[in-house]
Structure 1
Amino acid sequence: MIWHRPYLAMAAFTAPARPAGSLLRIIAVLIIFEIAFAIMPHIYFSLLGPDADLSTPAATVLDFGMFILPAATLILAVRLLHQRGLASMIGPRKLAVRHTVVATLAVSLVLLVQEPALLWFDLSQDLGLRNPALWLVWLLPGIVAITLQCATEELLYRGYLQQQLGALSSSRWVWMVLPSVYFGFGHLYNGDTVAAGVLWAGWATLLGLACADLTARTGTLGAAVGLHVANNIFATVIIAEAQTPSSGLALLLYPYAGDLPPDDFGLIALLTPFTLFDIVVSIMGVLVMWLAARVALRV
């Protein structure tokens, strides 16, 4: 299989996945992972109880920490069906660690510069402030749990799936686009409305493409994990809507908006000026993070 610039590193990255084997094995691993992912909420709610407040720091950390289940399941499934281990899905260990640190710091720096400008749009709202001492106490456990969540997703989409599909074909449509669309589809239900779900899926697909590109350029999973971690940390620990799940680590809190009315507009809502502006901002946001990681890693 022939690889061309700028993806020469994919040759070494996909080597552990060769021979690629049956496509049915890949599908089997994905099904096993999705089953573990589907079980995760049941364990989460059984640990917290039916009446638990899901917006507390402890609940949020546990929410992200539950990704240990699908992560362990994926590692076991790959071992059983492909006879290879965790290290084979990451790339050279020392290089992967360096890529993770560099990408995390570079993207975090860019987001840190952007954050005041983005918060300026929110100053007109009555933002609440969480107790800073409580926020600091939970910051490190939160970062660890978020890192686990991001690493699990990258291990599946860029580590396992990109490797296996790259061993089957050098076409970008196969190893880059397909896993990214799959990643995006997994975010479809993050939105409260049809239009919001489509926006989530589109944004996640773009993020997946950026992470896939970085993985192919560097030959390790590190850069993708670093970008993903930086993005999710800033999206989780800075600002969130009060009284909502996964808002327990945020320092600033929007007032709770309450339950949304029925979605009567569907996909037509994507054509509003505000939504179109949001789409442009989302595209630019992913582009800036991707460029920051590339510049820092010189790839």
Structure 2
Amino acid sequence: MKSYAPHDLLAAPALRTKSLFLTLVGFIAIEFMYQLGRDLLDYLLVNLAPGVAPVIFDGIAPIAVLYDLFGFAVLGLLVVFVARRNHDRGLRTLVGPFGLAKEDFRRAVLAAGVMHLMLLAIVPWGLDQADMIPLDHWLRVAPVAIVALLVQTGAEELFYRGYLQQQLAARFRNPLIWMVLPNIAFAWVHWSNGADFTDSVYYVGWAFIFGLAASDLTARSGSLGAAIGFHLMNNVFAFMVADVAGFPGSGLALFLFPGDPLPLSPDDGAALVPDLTDSWLIWQMAVDLAVIGVTWLAVRVAIRR
């Protein structure tokens, strides 16, 4: 595709080591070592700060959410290590030209941020029914939260739209392969984010569509800057604007909706087959997909050259 010509340049360094076996080994190695790295962080936390560990593992307090987000630095470092070890590729070859990536990031953050603010203003999200935490407290935490979210989104983009997408693009010319396969992996790791089976299925589907949008922005721009900016602003609004009180990950939100602090699981009697006929679920899916669509379009227009 002519519109994806910049991606050919971005993925060109991967041509030297385009072996599918090496890429698969790299993918498995990153996933395995990342889990070990996170387990090691948890082990150190339990042994060095046993009084804080229960609060962190609860996943609700601001410090717990920040701990989880900053932990994605382990993923980013492992991607750089494996790309160098297996493919003789440095960080610049994964991100693209730094100047271009920086400009794409700036444009994406501005476009996605403005679009999210507009949607926040015109869509009836029901924030009037939520409790607002003290604004001064939220503002104190916000700068650190944004940095933590940048670490998280940057690491995920480096892995899925950087390493995996580019290595597969060097091996397969068909965009259906190098866009779909990395985002199946990206979607699958979001399974446990759901409260029950139906919620998990929904969230995996959402993550797959979101990943495709990020892959498209990467392919059109020739750098990871646009995808990181797009991802960052999505997560800023997802983590820092509104959430359900007592749910894991809600500690950074300005508005908290009342809800059951203990999410359901299949053992609690949740349905093992998602009810896709539920009118509220259909409405939520439509809104969330529309948000992805209009935000992706805004960023795509912003990075056009």
TM range (shorter): over 0.9
Distance in 2 (CA, whole Å) between partners of 1:61 and 1:196 is: 24
Q: 1:85 to 1:180 in 2, by over 3 A?
A: same
> Partner residue of 2:10?
13
Q: 1:227 to 1:263 in 2, by over 3 A?
A: farther
Q: CA deviation at 1:232?
A: 0.3
Distance in 2 (CA, whole Å) between partners of 1:114 and 1:61 is: 26
Opposite residue 16 of structure 2, the aligned amino acid is: P
> Partner residue of 1:231?
234
Q: Pick from 94, 100, 103 the counterpart of residue 89 of structure 1.
A: 94
Which 10-residue stretch deviates more, 28-37 or 283-292? 28-37
Scaled by the length of structure 2, the TM-score of the pair is: 0.91
Structure with the higher helix share, 1 or 2: 2
Scaled by the length of structure 1, the TM-score of the pair is: 0.93
Opposite residue 36 of structure 2, the aligned amino acid is: I
1:57 equivalenced with 2:62 (yes/no):
yes
> Partner residue of 1:104?
109
Q: Pick from 118, 126, 151 the counterpart of residue 154 of structure 2.
A: 151
Opposite residue 51 of structure 1, the aligned amino acid is: P
> Partner residue of 2:261?
258
Alpha-carbon deviations, 1:80-136, whole Å to 9, x = none?
Answer: 11111111101111010000111011001000011134454343x3x2221211111
Check whether the contact 1:241–1:254 (CA below 8 A) recurs between aligned residues. Answer: yes
Please show how residues 1-299 of structure 1 align to structure 2 within 5 Å. 4-42=1-39, 43-44=41-42, 46-47=44-45, 49=50, 50-52=53-55, 54-118=59-123, 120-123=125-128, 125=129, 127-261=130-264, 262-298=268-304
Which 10-residue stretch deviates more, 20-29 or 104-113? 20-29
Distance in 2 (CA, whole Å) between partners of 1:275 and 1:240 is: 17
SS of corresponding position for 1:152: helix
Distance in 2 (CA, whole Å) between partners of 1:253 and 1:40 is: 32
Q: Which runs of 5+ in 1 are unaligned?
A: none
Check whether the contact 1:108–1:230 (CA below 8 A) recurs between aligned residues. Answer: yes
Q: CA deviation at 1:37?
A: 3.0
Tell me the C-alpha RMSD between the 2 structures: 1.7
Distance in 2 (CA, whole Å) between partners of 1:97 and 1:260 is: 39
Check whether the contact 2:247–2:261 (CA below 8 A) recurs between aligned residues. Answer: no
SS of corresponding position for 1:226: helix
Distance in 2 (CA, whole Å) between partners of 1:209 and 1:120 is: 25
Q: Which runs of 5+ in 2 are unaligned?
A: none
Distance in 2 (CA, whole Å) between partners of 1:41 and 1:80 is: 21
